[in-house]
A = this chain, B = another copy of it.
Amino acid sequence: MFAHHQKSQLTDWLPMLTWLKNYTRQDFNSDLLAGIITAILLVPQGIAYAILAGLPVQLGLYASIIPTICYALLGSSRTLSVGPVAVAAIMIASALKTPELIALGNPAESAVILSAETGLIMLVMALLRMGGLVNFISHPVLTGFTSGAAILIIVSQLPQFLGLTAPACSLTFDCYADYFSHANLITLALGLGAFSTLFFFQKLLPYLLNLMAFKPNMINAISKCGPLMTVILATIAVSQFNLTAQHVAVVGQIPAGFPDINIHFGNFEKWRLLLTSSAFIALIAYVESVAIAKVVANLRSEKIAPNQELIALGLANIASSFSGGMPVAGGFSRTMVNFSAGARTQMAMLIAGSLLAVAVMFVSQWFTNIPKASLAAIIVIAIIPLVKLKNIIQTWHYDRGDGIAEVITLLGVVSLGIEKGITLGIVLTIASHLRKTSQPHIAVVGRIANTEHFRNIKRHQVQTWQHILLLRIDESITFANVNYIEEFLTKELIRQPNTSHIVLILTSVNDIDSTALDALEMLNASLKTANITLNLSEVKGPVLDKLEKTDFLKQLSPGKVFFRTQDAVNTLS
C-alpha cells in the first residue's frame, strides 16, 4: 500500500514516468522527426520574440533550451512546447518600458529577474492551489485579450519592415509623410520577400506537393521549414549583396557558447518594480499554456493536471532565469507544429531543446546576418491566427453579454495597454457574473391537491391560502442575494395584502451567511410591526445548527421553525 502510494506520488511529480515506461522504438522515431522540425522553428522564433521584447537575441535563444527541457521533464502535457512566446514578449516589452526601470539600466538583467519572479509567483500559486483560478478568466476575456495583444504585436512590427524606429510624431499628415520618406526600400523588399517565401511554404507548396502525390506527413514536414528557409534566404541575400552597408538592420553578433550576462539577482528595487508585471505574465502565461495544452490533450483524450502545470511552468521560468533567458510559456504555433509533426511525448521537446543548445554553442555566428525584417514577417504570419475576428463575431451572435466583454477587452488592451485591458475584462466579467448570481430563483408555492407536495404556483395547479405566503428559496442566502430576496418578498406582500404568515422553505439553502442573518433579523423586526409572522420550514441540519447559536430563532417568535412545509400549513391555516 505504501509502495503504491509512493509510486503514484512520483508519477504525479514527474509525469514523464507515465510515458517513459512503455516507450517504444516507434514512439522515438515519431518524436525524433517532430523534435527536429520544431527545433528548426525555435531558432527564428526565439530570436524574433527576444527582439519583440526589446531584448538582446540570446535571451530568446537561451529561453528555448533549458526551460523547454525543464517543462518536458515536469509538465503534464505530452505535446506542449514551452519557450518564448509572442504575447509574453509584448508583455515583457511593456514591463521593461517604465521610466523607473529604465533608470536602473541593464534591461537584460531586468528580463532575467522578471523570469525568476514570474516563476516564483507560479510556484506560490501552485502552493495555494490556485490552479482553479484559470476558471475565472472566461473565454471571451481570453480571446479578446489575445486578439488585442496580437494587434498590438502586428502594429509594433510595421516599422521593422520599413527599417524605421517607431514614429516619434503624432497623427499629422506632414509628420507621417516625413516619417515614411525615410523608409529603407531594401528592407521593405526583404520583408516582402520573406512574406512571399512564408506564403509559398504555407499555402502554395503543400498544394503543389499534394498534386505530385507526396505523402501528407511529408508535405507537412516540408511546409514547416518555411520560417527557416525564409531566414536562410534572407540571410544569404544580406551577406551576398553586403546589405548591412545599405542600412538593413540585422540581428548582429551573438555571444557564442553559454550565458555571460552580468546579472545581480540581489537588485531588490527591480524585483519590487517588476512585481505587478510578473503577476500578470504569470497569470497569462499559465492560462494560455493550459488552454493550448487542453486543446491538444483533447485531440488525444489525454488529461492536463492544472496544478502540476503551475509547478512545471514555474520551474521552467526559474530555469530560464538561471540560464539567462526571458520568461516563457506554452506557445500556440510551436505546440501546433510539434503536434502536427507527429510528436507522441515530451521526448520530442527534449530533442528539440538539445539540438538548439548545440546550435547556440557552435553555429551562433550563422545568425549574425539575419535581417530583422524577415523575423518581423515570421512574427506577423505566426500571430495573425491569434486575431480571432471570426470567433468574436460568433460569440457576439451566441451571447451578447459575452460578445460585449470580448470587444471591450480587445479595445481595452489596444487602447489602455495589456495589463489594464485584461484587468478591465476580468472585472467586467466578474461584476456581471455577480449581478446574475445575486438574483436567485425564488418560487411562490402552493400544495398540489391531496398530496404533501408543494410546487411553483406559476407551473402547477395548486391550493393556496389567503393568509399564508409560501416562498421556496432555491439558493444559499448570502450577502450577494439577500437584498434581492427581501425585495422579492416585499413585492409579493404588496400583491397579497392579506398575508399574516410568511413561510420561507429552505430545502435548497445550504448556508445563511452573517450578512444574510442580519438582513433576516431586520426583515423579521419590520414584519412584526406589520403583524406578520416570519416562519421557516425544511431547514437543513447544518443551517439550523448555525441559527441556534444566535438569537434569531427566539426573535422569530411567534414565528416558528417547522420540520415540513405541511406542518407549517397545518399550524398556520
Cβ-neighbour of A399 out of B136, B474, B525, B546 (below 8 A)? B546
Write the A122-136 contact mask toward B (1 if CB under 8 angstroms, else 0): 000000000010011
Known contacts: A399-B546, A529-B301, A549-B398. The answer to whether A438 contacts B135 by CB under 8 A is yes
A135, A294, A476, A546 — most chain B CB neighbours (10 Å): A135
Known contacts: A140-B515, A514-B399, A546-B398. The answer to whether A526 contacts B298 by CB under 8 A is yes
Chain B residues whose C-beta falls within 8 Å of the C-beta of A515 in the assembled complex? 138-140, 402
Interface residues of A in 509-567 (CB under 8 A from B): 511, 513-515, 517-518, 522, 525-526, 529-530, 546, 549-550
Q: A434 on the interface (CB 8 Å rule)? A: yes
Cβ-neighbour of A398 out of B402, B480, B482, B517 (below 8 A)? B517
Known contacts: A434-B136, A479-B139, A483-B135. The answer to whether A294 contacts B522 by CB under 8 A is yes
Chain B residues whose C-beta falls within 8 Å of the C-beta of A402 in the assembled complex? 513-515
Q: A395 on the interface (CB 8 Å rule)? A: yes
Known contacts: A301-B530, A402-B514. The answer to whether A430 contacts B436 by CB under 8 A is no
Closest residue of chain B to A523 (Cβ to Cβ) is: B298
Interface residues of A in 404-433 (CB under 8 A from B): 429-430, 433
Please tell me the number of chain A residues within 8 Å of chain B, measured between CB atoms: 51
The distance in angstroms between the C-alpha atoms of A434 and B135, with both chains bound, is 10
Chain B residues whose C-beta falls within 8 Å of the C-beta of A466 in the assembled complex? none
Question: Chain A contact residues: over half helix, strand or loop, or mixed?
Answer: helix
The distance in angstroms between the C-alpha atoms of A139 and B434, with both chains bound, is 17
Q: A478 on the interface (CB 8 Å rule)? A: yes
Interface residues of A in 440-496 (CB under 8 A from B): 441, 474, 476, 478-484
Q: A239 on the interface (CB 8 Å rule)? A: no
The distance in angstroms between the C-alpha atoms of A401 and B546, with both chains bound, is 13
Q: A11 on the interface (CB 8 Å rule)? A: no
**Please, could you name 30 A-B residue pairs with CB atoms under 8 Å apart, sorted by A?**
A132-B435, A132-B438, A132-B483, A135-B480, A136-B438, A136-B480, A138-B478, A138-B514, A139-B479, A139-B515, A139-B518, A140-B514, A140-B515, A301-B530, A395-B514, A397-B549, A398-B514, A398-B517, A398-B546, A401-B513, A402-B514, A402-B515, A429-B479, A430-B434, A433-B478, A433-B480, A436-B476, A437-B437, A441-B508, A474-B474
